[in-house]
Amino acid sequence: MTDSTISAIMPKPITGPLIWLRANLFANPFNILMTVLVVWFLAMSLPALLDWVLLDAVFQANNVRECRAAGSGACWAFIGEKHRLILFGLYPYDEQWRPMLVVLLLIAMVGVSCLRRFWTKWLAPMWVATLMIVGVLMWGGVLGLTYVENARWGGLPLTMILAFVAIAVAFPLGVLLALGRRSNLPAIRAICTIYIELVRGVPAVSLLFMASVMLPLLLPEGMSIDKLLRAQIALIVYASAYLAEVVRGGLQSLSKGQYEAADALGLTYWQKQRLIILPQALRITIPPLVNTLITVFKDTSLVVIIGLYDLMNAAKASFVDPAWRGSSIEAYVFVSLIYFAFCFFMSKYSQSIEKRLAKSQNR
Amino acid sequence: MKYRYLAAILGAACGTLAALPALAGPTLDAVKARGEIVCGVNTGVAGFSAPDSRGEWKGIDVDICRATAAALFGDAKKVKYVGLTAAQRFTALQSGEVDVLSRNTTGTLTRDTSLGLNFIAPNFYDGQGFIVAKKLGVKSAKDLGGATVCVQQGTTTELNMADYGRANKIAFKPVVIEKVEETVATFFSGRCDAYTADASALASVRSTAASNPDDYVILPEIISKEPLGPMVRHGDDQWFDLVKWSFMAMLEAEEYGITTANVDEMLKSNDPNVKRILGVTEGMGKALGTSEKWAYNIVKQVGNYGESFDRNVGANSPLKLDRGLNALWTKGGLMYGWPIR
């Protein structure tokens, strides 16, 4: 038989838009019902949303009264007026190029760190250098930059710094806690278990409250730990306990054979963990790990309750202005887009890592 | 035996804890050494203390701190602001994290005594009132018998209204709503005949949330007392004096017609009161431990009380509050500056 006769006998591949529609949207009665409902819902909501976001929105106005008179949609003029307060909080207005640079620098470094070709021994020193530059830019006081105390930091750079430092410190701490909880040494096991259970047993809000309200009363007069540092420590404590439990899940899922094989090779405890156990445990736990990291990023907004002007609190401060009262929806939409961008990136990146690691697994 | 030691240690620890505020070193010395005042303010209440679009703090509570800095350092900018939530505010003052708390806080007996704080003087007299639509033709809260009243859940506002109704035999029909925004929206949608909250809040709601502010009227009855003002902690009377007289100077300046615009001309005034306030006749600054220009600097950089009020919450602000109780005593209000002499 020739090739042409084979292709004549073979059934034609079933493709085309109509067939796709039938397979995916109208496969069975329940599917048809869902499709109709979803289309109906979109038809009802999308035009109104589009009107609000774009067609009836107002982009130029001096106050909320002008805004509402000019159109029934969103008052984006409010964001135009307040975006610097929302993005940079109480940072001195004329110096706000500095936090702007910090945000760009941190985003660029995250981008670089995500690319595999930069995974060299230079990555860690580069991060140290970046953080030093971030410190210089934010605090100033050298190189002709005016000094800005960290009580005035705010907005997006504060959120990013709180989240990045919390994740960076809490991750190794969490791994150690997880190992400690599975340790054979009873004292270490008890300490790690108590720490994890205590921290996990209370809401993050109460940790922040303890750090900001109780701690100053317990310290001797005149000695005060910086408010930002207190919040940062509370976030680290909180994140490390959760990360520890995630990592412990990974450790427990490994078969006993892995541990025994490592022991049989004569590896020390730390060699065993570093070379055999952790690489496998961490790979398994990527989805819950990223889940926790996203939670930590969003939980930085809880510092609202101790009066730090992170992205969320700065947004709240922006619509207190009586000239713009009632613009809270615009402010919340604006900051939620920023939060979404960061969290969506984290989620997408973790999926790509999973895929890559799965490839090596299936080899 | 063991337990007795333990008890002694615990007792000592508690004692130290309770004594901490009292042990506070002289605040004034610390402020002078630092070169700036640390001022605890609300994280955001329009007109009282809130950051503007440029991130600068504005409001009548903020002006108290600016005035004190102008008196002490000759520069109203030498203030570091700490935004505080309601839960944090007293601890922050007790622990020395802030030097003065100027955060629309009501002065009460327990706060003044057992919390270890000193209330300086009210810089804003607030109180609960009612707002109604003008077309109802209601002139007094006493006419509200049988009226539906929107009120926020779980606040003293709700209790005050119940007390007032019982005392005056008025049968309100409360419509209790959980969130303040929803309460306001419900009232302006016409679901309730009246809405009750602090009078300053009512005025700001009228100017910002009503489609036409002239359609609504705030009734004259004020049914609760909320004297709001700055506080310092026990233990440094000189610091207390300085904050108190910085505020008094703003009141006296208004009474004698000294404003930011005319303060330089007023230096030539023949009125002995004006001369003493502005330091032309010396002695007041020495008594306070500041420069003789202390009150001049306050008026020049911050303005008198009336200017601060108009700029932040009054006629020149979007809130457009009436002076009401906050007018000078000479104009039927309660603001009564003590003589500077």
Residues A12-59 have pLDDT tens digits of: 666 778 888 888 888 888 888 998 999 999 998 998 888 888 888 888
Q: Are residues A103 and A36 in the same domain?
A: no
- Is A80 in the same domain as A28? no
* A123-127, A185-189, A262-266: the lowest-pLDDT one: A123-127
> Would A8 be classed as within a structural domain?
no
How many helices and strands, by DSSP H and E, does chain A display? 18, 0
The answer to whether residue A7 is domain-embedded is: no
Q: Are A27 and A63 found together in one domain?
A: no
* Overall average pLDDT of the A72-101 stretch: 86
B8: alpha, beta or left, given left = phi > 0 and alpha = psi -120 to 50? alpha
More confidently predicted of A212 and B340: B340
CATH number, domain containing residue A219: 1.10.3720.10
Residues A40 and A60 in one domain: no
| Residue at A253 is within a domain | yes
Question: Are A354 and A252 within one domain?
Answer: yes
Mean pLDDT score, B131-157: 86
Query: Tens digits of per-residue pLDDT, B236-249?
Result: 899 999 999 999 99
The verdict on residue A302 lying in a domain is yes
Mean pLDDT of chain B: 86
B53/A221 CB distance under 8 A: no
Using the Cβ of A92 and the Cβ atoms of chain B, whether some distance falls under 8 Å is answered with: yes
Q: Note whether A25 and A124 are same-domain residues.
A: no
Q: How confident is the model at residue B88 (pLDDT cuts 50, 70, 90)?
A: confident
Do A41 and A80 sit in the same domain of this protein?
no
**Residue A120 confidence class, pLDDT cut points 50, 70, 90:** confident
Q: Are residues A41 and A72 in the same domain?
A: no
Within a domain: A63: yes
For CATH 3.40.190.10, the residue range(s) in chain B are 24-125+227-331, 128-224
A241 found inside a domain: yes
Which residue has better confidence, B23 or A214?
Answer: A214
Whether the CB-CB separation of B276 and B269 falls below 8 Å is answered with no
ipTM above 0.90, yes or no: no
Q: Looking at beta carbons, which residues of chain A come within 8 Å of B214?
A: none
Judgement on whether residues A76 and A41 belong to the same structural domain of the protein: no
**Average pLDDT of the residues in B81-97:** 84
| pLDDT value, residue A37 | 93
Number of domains in chain A: 2
What is d(CA B26, CA A32) in angstroms, rounded to the nearest whole number? 77
Cα–Cα distance between B181 and B179 in angstroms, integer?
A: 6
> Same domain, yes or no, for A35 and A73?
no
* A9 falls within a domain: no
Whether A67 and A199 map to the same domain: the answer is yes
* pLDDT value of residue A153: 86
CATH number of B24-125+227-331: 3.40.190.10
Interface of B with A (CB under 8 A): 17, 20, 23-25, 43-47, 50-57, 80-85, 87-88, 91-92, 94-97, 181, 204, 207-209, 317-319
What is the SS3 assignment for B44?
coil
Q: What average pLDDT does this structure show over A311-336?
A: 83
State pLDDT tens for residues B221-269.
888 888 899 999 998 899 999 999 999 999 999 999 999 999 999 999 9
The 10 Å Cβ neighbour count of residue A351 is: 13
Q: What pLDDT was estimated at residue A115?
A: 81
Residue A33 sits in the same domain as residue A69: no
CA angle A188, A193, A194 (to 5 degrees): 100
Bridge-based pairing state of the strands B50-51 and B117-119? unpaired
| Cβ pair A216:B52 closer than 8 A | no
- For B128-224, CATH gives 3.40.190.10
Domain that holds residue A290: 56-362
Determine, yes or no, domain membership for A2.
no
CB under 8 Å to A22, separation ≥6 — which residues? none
